[in-house]
Amino acid sequence: MKALLSTACGGPETLVMGELPEPAAAPGTVVVSVKACSINFPDTLMIVDLYQFKPARPFAPGGEIAGIVEAVGDGVTGFAVGDRVIGLCGNGGLTEKVAVSAFNCFKMPDAMSFDDGASLLMTYATSIHALKDRGHMKEGDNVLVLGGAGGIGISAIELAKAFGGRVVAGVSSEAKAQIAREAGADDVVVYPHQPFDKDQSKAVAEMFKAAAGKDGFNIIYDTVGGDYSEPAVRSIAWEGKFLVVGFPAGIAKLPLNLTLLKSCDICGVFWGAFAARTPAKNHANVAELFSLYAEGKIKPRISETFTLENAGQAIARLGDRAAVGKLVVHI
Protein backbone atom coordinates (compact mmCIF):
# COMPACT_ATOMS: atom_id res chain seq x y z
CA MET A 1 0.00 0.00 0.00
CA LYS A 2 1.13 3.58 -0.64
CA ALA A 3 2.70 5.58 2.15
CA LEU A 4 4.74 8.75 2.65
CA LEU A 5 7.89 7.51 4.38
CA SER A 6 10.69 8.80 6.54
CA THR A 7 13.67 6.68 5.48
CA ALA A 8 16.40 8.83 7.08
CA CYS A 9 16.58 11.51 9.76
CA GLY A 10 15.82 14.88 8.18
CA GLY A 11 13.27 17.56 7.39
CA PRO A 12 10.10 17.25 5.32
CA GLU A 13 12.14 17.39 2.11
CA THR A 14 13.54 13.93 2.96
CA LEU A 15 10.11 12.25 2.93
CA VAL A 16 9.50 9.96 -0.04
CA MET A 17 6.58 8.03 -1.46
CA GLY A 18 6.94 4.31 -0.98
CA GLU A 19 5.18 1.07 -0.15
CA LEU A 20 4.41 -0.65 3.15
CA PRO A 21 2.82 -4.05 3.71
CA GLU A 22 -0.87 -3.94 4.52
CA PRO A 23 -1.50 -4.18 8.27
CA ALA A 24 -3.28 -7.09 9.90
CA ALA A 25 -5.82 -6.76 12.70
CA ALA A 26 -3.83 -8.10 15.66
CA PRO A 27 -5.63 -8.78 18.93
CA GLY A 28 -6.91 -5.56 20.47
CA THR A 29 -6.59 -3.55 17.24
CA VAL A 30 -8.69 -2.45 14.31
CA VAL A 31 -7.48 -1.81 10.78
CA VAL A 32 -8.72 1.54 9.48
CA SER A 33 -8.94 2.56 5.84
CA VAL A 34 -7.64 6.11 6.21
CA LYS A 35 -9.69 8.90 4.65
CA ALA A 36 -8.04 11.90 6.31
CA CYS A 37 -4.92 12.49 8.42
CA SER A 38 -4.18 15.77 10.17
CA ILE A 39 -0.69 17.14 10.73
CA ASN A 40 0.45 17.95 14.26
CA PHE A 41 3.58 19.31 15.92
CA PRO A 42 4.92 15.83 16.88
CA ASP A 43 5.11 15.01 13.16
CA THR A 44 7.66 17.78 12.67
CA LEU A 45 9.78 16.42 15.54
CA MET A 46 9.53 12.70 14.81
CA ILE A 47 11.14 12.89 11.38
CA VAL A 48 14.22 14.64 12.83
CA ASP A 49 14.47 12.23 15.80
CA LEU A 50 13.56 14.92 18.36
CA TYR A 51 10.34 13.37 19.63
CA GLN A 52 10.24 11.26 22.79
CA PHE A 53 9.18 8.22 20.76
CA LYS A 54 11.44 7.20 17.86
CA PRO A 55 9.81 4.64 15.55
CA ALA A 56 12.01 2.35 13.49
CA ARG A 57 12.51 3.44 9.89
CA PRO A 58 11.02 3.37 7.41
CA PHE A 59 7.91 4.82 9.00
CA ALA A 60 5.06 7.05 7.91
CA PRO A 61 4.40 10.18 10.00
CA GLY A 62 0.85 11.09 10.97
CA GLY A 63 -0.63 10.32 14.35
CA GLU A 64 -4.27 11.39 14.00
CA ILE A 65 -6.58 9.84 11.43
CA ALA A 66 -10.22 9.38 10.52
CA GLY A 67 -11.55 6.60 8.37
CA ILE A 68 -13.58 3.40 8.13
CA VAL A 69 -12.95 0.20 10.06
CA GLU A 70 -11.91 -2.53 7.62
CA ALA A 71 -11.02 -5.35 10.02
CA VAL A 72 -11.41 -6.06 13.75
CA GLY A 73 -8.91 -8.03 15.82
CA ASP A 74 -9.63 -10.63 18.48
CA GLY A 75 -10.84 -9.29 21.79
CA VAL A 76 -12.11 -6.00 20.37
CA THR A 77 -15.60 -4.98 21.43
CA GLY A 78 -17.61 -1.92 20.48
CA PHE A 79 -16.33 -1.68 16.89
CA ALA A 80 -17.47 -3.36 13.69
CA VAL A 81 -16.42 -3.37 10.05
CA GLY A 82 -17.84 -0.26 8.40
CA ASP A 83 -17.76 1.98 11.49
CA ARG A 84 -16.61 5.55 10.92
CA VAL A 85 -13.88 6.24 13.49
CA ILE A 86 -11.25 8.65 14.73
CA GLY A 87 -7.97 6.96 15.58
CA LEU A 88 -4.77 7.98 17.36
CA CYS A 89 -1.91 5.90 16.02
CA GLY A 90 1.23 7.81 17.07
CA ASN A 91 2.64 7.42 13.56
CA GLY A 92 1.62 5.60 10.41
CA GLY A 93 -1.31 7.80 9.50
CA LEU A 94 0.08 8.96 6.14
CA THR A 95 -0.76 5.59 4.59
CA GLU A 96 -3.75 4.02 2.93
CA LYS A 97 -4.47 1.75 5.91
CA VAL A 98 -3.24 1.64 9.50
CA ALA A 99 -3.72 -0.65 12.48
CA VAL A 100 -4.84 1.26 15.56
CA SER A 101 -5.34 0.09 19.12
CA ALA A 102 -9.09 -0.08 19.80
CA PHE A 103 -8.24 1.71 23.05
CA ASN A 104 -7.30 4.76 20.94
CA CYS A 105 -10.33 4.73 18.63
CA PHE A 106 -13.57 6.65 18.95
CA LYS A 107 -16.73 6.29 16.89
CA MET A 108 -17.41 9.49 14.99
CA PRO A 109 -20.76 11.25 15.32
CA ASP A 110 -22.84 10.76 12.18
CA ALA A 111 -22.77 14.47 11.30
CA MET A 112 -18.98 14.77 11.61
CA SER A 113 -16.88 14.84 8.44
CA PHE A 114 -13.66 12.85 8.10
CA ASP A 115 -11.70 16.13 7.91
CA ASP A 116 -13.22 17.36 11.17
CA GLY A 117 -12.77 13.98 12.82
CA ALA A 118 -9.08 13.85 11.93
CA SER A 119 -8.64 17.36 13.33
CA LEU A 120 -10.39 17.00 16.67
CA LEU A 121 -8.51 14.96 19.25
CA MET A 122 -4.91 16.20 19.32
CA THR A 123 -6.06 19.79 19.60
CA TYR A 124 -9.44 19.85 21.36
CA ALA A 125 -8.76 16.90 23.67
CA THR A 126 -5.49 18.55 24.70
CA SER A 127 -7.28 21.85 25.31
CA ILE A 128 -10.19 20.44 27.28
CA HIS A 129 -7.74 18.51 29.47
CA ALA A 130 -5.59 21.61 29.91
CA LEU A 131 -8.41 23.99 30.77
CA LYS A 132 -10.54 21.65 32.91
CA ASP A 133 -8.16 19.16 34.49
CA ARG A 134 -5.01 21.28 34.81
CA GLY A 135 -6.31 24.85 34.81
CA HIS A 136 -9.51 24.11 36.76
CA MET A 137 -11.26 26.72 34.63
CA LYS A 138 -14.47 28.25 35.92
CA GLU A 139 -17.01 30.61 34.40
CA GLY A 140 -15.77 34.19 34.30
CA ASP A 141 -12.06 33.31 34.16
CA ASN A 142 -9.77 35.63 32.20
CA VAL A 143 -7.77 33.51 29.74
CA LEU A 144 -4.74 34.32 27.56
CA VAL A 145 -4.05 31.95 24.66
CA LEU A 146 -0.59 32.28 23.09
CA GLY A 147 -0.44 31.07 19.50
CA GLY A 148 -4.12 31.80 19.14
CA ALA A 149 -4.33 31.25 15.37
CA GLY A 150 -2.93 27.72 15.29
CA GLY A 151 -5.08 24.63 15.43
CA ILE A 152 -4.53 24.07 19.14
CA GLY A 153 -4.83 27.78 19.93
CA ILE A 154 -8.18 27.99 18.14
CA SER A 155 -9.40 24.94 20.08
CA ALA A 156 -8.43 26.64 23.36
CA ILE A 157 -10.23 29.86 22.38
CA GLU A 158 -13.43 28.03 21.43
CA LEU A 159 -13.45 25.87 24.54
CA ALA A 160 -12.62 28.71 26.92
CA LYS A 161 -15.53 30.67 25.44
CA ALA A 162 -17.82 27.63 25.71
CA PHE A 163 -16.87 27.38 29.40
CA GLY A 164 -17.83 31.01 30.01
CA GLY A 165 -14.44 32.71 29.98
CA ARG A 166 -13.13 35.99 28.62
CA VAL A 167 -10.41 35.18 26.09
CA VAL A 168 -7.46 37.19 24.81
CA ALA A 169 -5.44 35.68 21.96
CA GLY A 170 -1.75 36.35 21.44
CA VAL A 171 -0.69 36.16 17.78
CA SER A 172 2.16 37.33 15.57
CA SER A 173 0.31 39.15 12.76
CA GLU A 174 -2.85 41.05 11.95
CA ALA A 175 -3.95 38.26 9.61
CA LYS A 176 -3.70 35.78 12.49
CA ALA A 177 -5.49 38.25 14.75
CA GLN A 178 -8.51 38.09 12.46
CA ILE A 179 -8.49 34.29 12.64
CA ALA A 180 -8.46 34.44 16.44
CA ARG A 181 -11.34 36.92 16.48
CA GLU A 182 -13.36 34.64 14.19
CA ALA A 183 -12.72 31.80 16.65
CA GLY A 184 -14.32 33.93 19.38
CA ALA A 185 -11.46 35.82 21.05
CA ASP A 186 -12.71 38.90 22.90
CA ASP A 187 -9.43 40.75 22.39
CA VAL A 188 -6.14 40.18 20.58
CA VAL A 189 -2.52 41.08 21.28
CA VAL A 190 -0.26 41.17 18.20
CA TYR A 191 3.22 40.59 19.54
CA PRO A 192 6.52 41.11 17.66
CA HIS A 193 8.77 38.28 16.57
CA GLN A 194 11.42 37.05 18.97
CA PRO A 195 14.23 37.23 20.05
CA PHE A 196 13.55 39.89 22.68
CA ASP A 197 16.08 41.89 24.62
CA LYS A 198 15.19 43.00 28.16
CA ASP A 199 13.37 46.15 27.02
CA GLN A 200 11.43 44.32 24.32
CA SER A 201 10.41 41.61 26.78
CA LYS A 202 9.15 44.29 29.16
CA ALA A 203 7.20 45.96 26.35
CA VAL A 204 5.48 42.69 25.42
CA ALA A 205 4.64 42.12 29.10
CA GLU A 206 3.00 45.56 29.18
CA MET A 207 0.92 44.60 26.12
CA PHE A 208 -0.32 41.49 27.90
CA LYS A 209 -1.01 43.39 31.13
CA ALA A 210 -3.04 46.02 29.29
CA ALA A 211 -5.15 43.34 27.63
CA ALA A 212 -5.60 41.47 30.92
CA GLY A 213 -6.91 44.37 32.97
CA LYS A 214 -6.01 45.16 36.56
CA ASP A 215 -6.51 41.64 37.95
CA GLY A 216 -4.45 39.73 35.36
CA PHE A 217 -5.10 36.44 33.61
CA ASN A 218 -6.46 33.54 35.64
CA ILE A 219 -5.21 31.06 33.02
CA ILE A 220 -2.41 31.43 30.49
CA TYR A 221 -2.43 28.76 27.79
CA ASP A 222 1.06 28.71 26.25
CA THR A 223 1.43 26.83 22.98
CA VAL A 224 4.46 28.87 21.87
CA GLY A 225 7.23 29.04 24.52
CA GLY A 226 10.47 30.82 23.70
CA ASP A 227 10.76 34.49 24.59
CA TYR A 228 6.96 34.85 24.83
CA SER A 229 6.48 32.87 28.04
CA GLU A 230 8.11 35.22 30.55
CA PRO A 231 6.18 38.34 29.46
CA ALA A 232 3.00 36.29 29.66
CA VAL A 233 3.75 35.10 33.20
CA ARG A 234 4.22 38.73 34.23
CA SER A 235 0.56 39.32 33.32
CA ILE A 236 -0.83 36.42 35.38
CA ALA A 237 -3.37 36.88 38.15
CA TRP A 238 -2.84 36.08 41.82
CA GLU A 239 -2.96 32.26 42.09
CA GLY A 240 -3.24 31.98 38.32
CA LYS A 241 -2.40 28.89 36.28
CA PHE A 242 0.30 28.97 33.59
CA LEU A 243 -0.28 25.96 31.30
CA VAL A 244 2.76 24.67 29.38
CA VAL A 245 1.28 23.09 26.25
CA GLY A 246 4.03 23.40 23.61
CA PHE A 247 7.17 25.27 22.67
CA PRO A 248 7.76 25.55 18.90
CA ALA A 249 9.52 28.89 19.58
CA GLY A 250 11.91 27.16 22.00
CA ILE A 251 11.91 26.00 25.61
CA ALA A 252 11.36 29.01 27.85
CA LYS A 253 13.52 29.97 30.81
CA LEU A 254 11.45 31.56 33.55
CA PRO A 255 12.63 33.50 36.62
CA LEU A 256 10.98 31.50 39.37
CA ASN A 257 10.65 34.52 41.64
CA LEU A 258 7.63 35.43 39.49
CA THR A 259 5.80 32.36 40.76
CA LEU A 260 6.33 33.54 44.33
CA LEU A 261 5.27 37.12 43.62
CA LYS A 262 2.03 35.97 41.96
CA SER A 263 1.56 32.80 44.03
CA CYS A 264 0.88 31.15 40.67
CA ASP A 265 1.21 27.60 39.40
CA ILE A 266 3.19 26.42 36.37
CA CYS A 267 1.36 23.33 35.08
CA GLY A 268 2.59 20.91 32.45
CA VAL A 269 0.01 19.58 30.01
CA PHE A 270 0.83 16.11 28.61
CA TRP A 271 -2.47 14.96 27.17
CA GLY A 272 -1.13 11.70 25.70
CA ALA A 273 0.09 10.48 29.08
CA PHE A 274 -3.16 11.63 30.73
CA ALA A 275 -5.18 9.64 28.18
CA ALA A 276 -3.09 6.53 28.78
CA ARG A 277 -3.09 6.81 32.57
CA THR A 278 -6.73 7.81 33.08
CA PRO A 279 -8.66 6.52 30.05
CA ALA A 280 -12.07 6.90 31.67
CA LYS A 281 -11.51 10.62 32.26
CA ASN A 282 -10.21 11.05 28.72
CA HIS A 283 -13.23 9.26 27.23
CA ALA A 284 -15.52 11.51 29.28
CA ASN A 285 -13.71 14.57 27.92
CA VAL A 286 -14.05 13.30 24.34
CA ALA A 287 -17.76 12.65 24.87
CA GLU A 288 -18.10 16.26 26.04
CA LEU A 289 -16.26 17.41 22.90
CA PHE A 290 -18.70 15.48 20.72
CA SER A 291 -21.60 17.20 22.51
CA LEU A 292 -20.02 20.65 22.07
CA TYR A 293 -19.44 19.88 18.37
CA ALA A 294 -23.09 18.86 17.93
CA GLU A 295 -24.14 22.12 19.62
CA GLY A 296 -21.99 24.13 17.20
CA LYS A 297 -19.76 25.50 19.97
CA ILE A 298 -16.57 23.99 18.57
CA LYS A 299 -15.49 23.18 15.02
CA PRO A 300 -11.97 22.59 13.72
CA ARG A 301 -10.79 25.30 11.37
CA ILE A 302 -9.16 23.52 8.45
CA SER A 303 -7.18 26.03 6.45
CA GLU A 304 -5.57 23.76 3.85
CA THR A 305 -5.85 20.23 2.51
CA PHE A 306 -3.13 18.20 0.81
CA THR A 307 -2.73 14.97 -1.12
CA LEU A 308 -0.64 12.12 0.27
CA GLU A 309 2.05 12.87 -2.30
CA ASN A 310 2.53 16.46 -1.11
CA ALA A 311 1.90 15.90 2.60
CA GLY A 312 5.53 16.85 3.26
CA GLN A 313 4.55 20.42 2.40
CA ALA A 314 1.99 20.35 5.21
CA ILE A 315 4.61 19.20 7.72
CA ALA A 316 6.96 21.95 6.49
CA ARG A 317 4.28 24.63 6.90
CA LEU A 318 3.55 23.54 10.45
CA GLY A 319 7.24 23.37 11.31
CA ASP A 320 7.80 26.88 9.96
CA ARG A 321 4.87 28.18 12.08
CA ALA A 322 3.19 29.28 8.85
CA ALA A 323 0.03 27.25 9.39
CA VAL A 324 -3.27 28.80 10.41
CA GLY A 325 -5.73 26.34 11.89
CA LYS A 326 -5.43 22.66 10.97
CA LEU A 327 -3.74 21.08 7.95
CA VAL A 328 -5.35 17.87 6.67
CA VAL A 329 -4.06 15.27 4.21
CA HIS A 330 -6.62 13.40 2.11
CA ILE A 331 -5.72 9.76 1.55
| 36 Cβ neighbours under 8 A, 6+ residues apart | 65, 66, 67, 114, 115, 117, 118, 328, 329, 330, 331
DSSP E strands, 56-101: 64-72, 84-88, 97-101
Q: How many CA atoms lie within 13 A of 206 on its CB side?
A: 6
Amino acid 217 reads: F
User: Is-contact 286 129, C-beta < 8 A?
Assistant: no
Query: Can you tell me the distance from the alpha carbon of 106 to that of 93, in angstroms, rounded to the nearest whole number?
Result: 16
pLDDT at 249: 83
The pLDDT value recorded for residue 226 is: 93
What is the tens place of the pLDDT at every residue in 228-260? 999 999 999 999 999 999 888 889 999 999 999
Residues of the chain above pLDDT 70, percent: 100
Chain segment 258-284, per-residue pLDDT in tens: 999 999 999 999 998 999 899 899 999
pLDDT in tens, 76-95: 999 999 999 999 999 999 99
pLDDT exceeds cutoff 90 at 224: yes
Q: What is the pTM of this model?
A: 0.89
Sketch out the chain's domains with CATH numbers.
Answer: 2-120+300-330 (3.90.180.10), 122-272 (3.40.50.720)
Q: Which of 165, 202, 204 is nearest to 187 (CA)?
A: 165
CA distance 226 to 254: 10
